[in-house]
Amino acid sequence: MRCGFSVSALVVSAGLVYGGPVSVDQGNDRETVPVYGCFGDEHGNLSGGIHEMEMDGEVLEFIEAMNRVNLGAVDNRVDLVFVGDGYTAGEMGQFHTDADGIINSLFAYEPFTSYEPYFRITKVEVVSNESGVDGDPSPGVMRDTALDMEYWCAGIERLLCVNVGKAYTAAAAAPDIDQVIAISNSSKYGGAGYASNNLGTAAGQNSAAADIAIHELGHSLGDLADEYTYGGPTTYTGGELSPWNVSILNQSEQVAQSRKWYRWMGASMAGFDGTVGGFEGGNYSVFGVYRPTNNSMMRGLGRPFNLVGAERLLRQIYREVNPIDDGTADGAMLERDDVAWVNPMQPLSHDLSVYWYVDGVIDAGLDGVLNVDIGSLGLNGDAHELRVVVIDETPWVRKPQIRDNFLTEERTFSIAALASCQADINGDGNLNFLDVSEFLSLFGDGDLSVDFVADGLLNFFDVSEFLALYGAGCP
């Protein structure tokens, strides 16, 4: 039993799934989307590649609209949503067992292990009329299921496709969606990665398929490229590649030009695959492309991610999760008897750093403190500014822009000036006969600084107002 992430189960009836906003009209514009099909051999070496699959334009618009809605979500977690296909009403126990198996595999790999509390898992129960999915074990085997999952997709035995629109409609029962994982009620090896749709598929009862699902998360969450060398031109001759973990530049060229993963050259850390350098071969070509490490999750099954991939994954995790999970609202106006507080996110491996600044100057005595009593700061009666900065200083990120833009959050608070005590005329902090004496002296001199009712005249009303304030005392 794993703890640390919250799991909620939701039941979606098949009717609700199909009654959603997606209507698949075959007459609509069809668009192609890249789908990864990466599979291991008996040694775990991956091969396969990207398949261009047709998808209904209306479905893509629906997914895009959902992602726009999700941009406004404030749950501060990466939401992984599991949906199942080919599970009948009586097989929901199997669905949960299968999903839990993949979840446990996922959190066995860094950086997911350490950042497990940053994830929220939702398992949406989707009921199918028949057990199992199409194409298991052989082509032509058809079953009536809720999400239309099928092997032999595009004629490839292990490519396990899903109706993306139906999967998203079912996943919409979750409070938020960042990634969808559709699992089939089958043990036949297979999977697929709809990277541009943040969706992956996996066979529910195949442990190698669970590893494939994690590899696909590297594609869809991390936008990482495959680091294996099969399937493309032997020698790559095109321009620089956009994924962070492949480059046309070798090690010395990266260092000379400060490009790609130059900050990581020579690095190795526990939990991650290999020592970083420039290894020729990757992105489906043997020559002309370089990868960061000899092997990794993006090249072979059951391997850890390498540090270059992990840095990118952390950036993507922090796109969804702010370092400050809760606390005093940014911009709050605080009084002297208030307490400013923060509740940082909490990786399992380390605490985030917490720094406090008073009027722009760090107060080192408050490093790591989560609750600051304003009254204990020893401030004078003027207005002041208090700022808290929370930073994840993990060594798994080296790019300063990622640290600054994603792993750092700050909030600034105003501390109100103390109300001035108007009757303390000599400003010594005490109300006593010296103030009365000073008042009478200034009044006698016709000094308008004691025009207490501010009418431009010195008369009985000012004396009366002064005595009233004097009687009320100072705060």
Judge whether 182 and 85 are in contact, CB under 8 Å: yes
DSSP assignment of 17-65 equals HHTSS----TTS-EEEEEEEEEEE-TT-BEEEEEEEEEEEHHHHHHHHH
Check residue 226 for interaction with Zn ion (CB under 5 A). yes
For residues 36 and 279, which CB has a smaller minimum distance to Zn ion in the complex?
A: 36
Q: Which stretch binds Zn ion (CB under 5 A): 5-13, 20-28, 225-233, 353-361?
A: 225-233
For residues 217 and 425, which CB has a smaller minimum distance to Zn ion in the complex?
A: 217
Can you read off the two tokens belonging to residue 252?
């010395």
For residues 198 and 408, which CB has a smaller minimum distance to Zn ion in the complex?
A: 198
Residues 6+ apart with CB under 8 A from 202: 102, 160, 181, 182, 183, 184, 190, 191, 209, 210, 212, 213, 216
- Least separation in angstroms between CB 195 and Zn ion: 9
Residue owning tokens 């490009």: 259
Can you read off the two tokens belonging to residue 349?
């491996």
- Least separation in angstroms between CB 309 and Zn ion: 12
- For residue 88, what are the CA distances in angstroms to 133, 215, 465? 11, 28, 82
Q: Which stretch binds Zn ion (CB under 5 A): 19-27, 195-203, 220-228, 239-247?
A: 220-228
Residue nearest to Zn ion (CB): 38
For residues 214 and 397, which CB has a smaller minimum distance to Zn ion in the complex?
A: 214
**Residue in 475, 436, 474, 443 with CA at minimum distance from that of residue 461:** 443
Q: Which stretch binds Zn ion (CB under 5 A): 32-40, 116-124, 357-365, 403-411?
A: 32-40
Check residue 38 for interaction with Zn ion (CB under 5 A). yes
For residues 212 and 358, which CB has a smaller minimum distance to Zn ion in the complex?
A: 212
Strand 339-344 versus strand 371-373 pairing type: antiparallel
Q: Which stretch binds Zn ion (CB under 5 A): 108-116, 135-143, 219-227, 265-273?
A: 219-227
Check residue 36 for interaction with Zn ion (CB under 5 A). yes
* Residue length of the chain: 475
CA atoms lying within 13 Å on the CB side of residue 263:
13
Residues 6+ apart with CB under 8 A from 119: 5, 77, 78, 79, 80, 112
- Least separation in angstroms between CB 231 and Zn ion: 10
Q: Fill in the per-residue mask, 301 to 320: x = in contact with Zn ion (CB under 5 A), - = not in contact.
A: --------------------
For residues 191 and 347, which CB has a smaller minimum distance to Zn ion in the complex?
A: 191
For residues 36 and 396, which CB has a smaller minimum distance to Zn ion in the complex?
A: 36
- Least separation in angstroms between CB 120 and Zn ion: 25
Site residues (vs Zn ion, CB under 5 A): 36, 38, 226
